[in-house]
């Protein structure tokens, strides 16, 4: 059974895509062994595809005060609150790999307050969740709580921007019925 809404926005054929997009998709396939569905679904709109992945890469691949595992924690926690199946399952896989921890993604997805994380990571996720669910109430007290854990202004921007970017991403995935590839479910759960 497939979600009917997934049928509304069928993925374009890879061969029909603009050169740069096809190249990126083939590179991902080469590296991962499969094409994550987010690439196929968003390729329907080349300009939006380019902006989406440029934004994604600017936030998730750069160096900075947050580890790559911590960035994925933000994605998993906020995407779970937004009930986004694609993002929780795909980024849960990436989080398990980045954190080298087979348990952490499920813990954070269900209730990040009970996950095996440091108090600093807990403060990071409290802020990310407030940006995701009630950004209009963010106040100086919220910044102070992060500063108390040693986060810099640029770290705070990163936390907020990742939460905000996945607010966009979660909504597109839910509207398009974007389906997590079967490969993600088991990734990072068993030692190789």
Task: Please report, as residue ranges, which positions from 88 to 127 form the binding site for a copy of itself (by CB under 8 A).
Answer: 88-89, 92, 102-103, 106-107, 109-111, 113-118
152 is a contact residue toward a copy of itself (CB under 8 A): no
> Helices 104-111 and 68-81: crossing angle, nearest 10°?
40
Q: Which segment (16-24, 29-37, 48-56, 65-73) binds a copy of itself by CB under 8 A?
A: 48-56
Is the dihedral angle over the CA atoms 61, 32, 91, 16 positive or is it negative? positive
Query: How far is it, in rounded angstroms, from Cα 130 to Cα 117?
Result: 18
Q: Which segment (15-23, 25-33, 67-75, 166-174) binds a copy of itself by CB under 8 A?
A: 166-174
148 is a contact residue toward a copy of itself (CB under 8 A): no
Separation of CA 85 from chain center: 11
The single residue among 44, 68, 120, 149 that binds a copy of itself, judged by CB under 8 A, is 44
Q: Which segment (17-25, 27-35, 65-73, 149-157) binds a copy of itself by CB under 8 A?
A: 149-157
24 is a contact residue toward a copy of itself (CB under 8 A): no
Query: How far is it, in rounded angstroms, from Cα 98 to Cα 181?
Result: 19
**First vs last C-alpha separation in the chain:** 32
């Amino acid at each position: 059974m497939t979600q009917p809404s997934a049928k509304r926005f069928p993925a374009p054929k890879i061969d029909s895509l603009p050169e740069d997009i096809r190249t990126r998709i083939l590179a991902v396939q080469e590296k991962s062994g499969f094409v994550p569905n987010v690439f196929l679904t968003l390729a329907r709109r080349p300009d939006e595809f380019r902006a989406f992945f440029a934004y994604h890469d600017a936030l998730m691949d750069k160096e900075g005060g947050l580890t790559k595992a911590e960035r994925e924690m933000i994605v998993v926690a906020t995407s779970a609150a937004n009930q986004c199946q694609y993002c929780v399952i795909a980024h849960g896989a990436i989080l398990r790999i980045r954190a080298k921890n087979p348990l952490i993604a499920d813990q954070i997805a269900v209730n990040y307050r009970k996950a095996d994380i440091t108090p600093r990571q807990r403060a990071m996720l409290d802020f990310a969740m407030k940006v995701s669910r009630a950004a209009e109430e963010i106040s100086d007290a919220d910044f102070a709580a992060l500063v108390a854990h040693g986060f810099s202004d640029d770290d705070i921007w990163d936390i907020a921007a990742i939460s905000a970017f996945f607010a966009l991403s979660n909504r597109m995935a839910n509207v398009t019925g974007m389906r997590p590839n079967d490969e993600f479910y088991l990734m990072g759960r068993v030692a190789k």
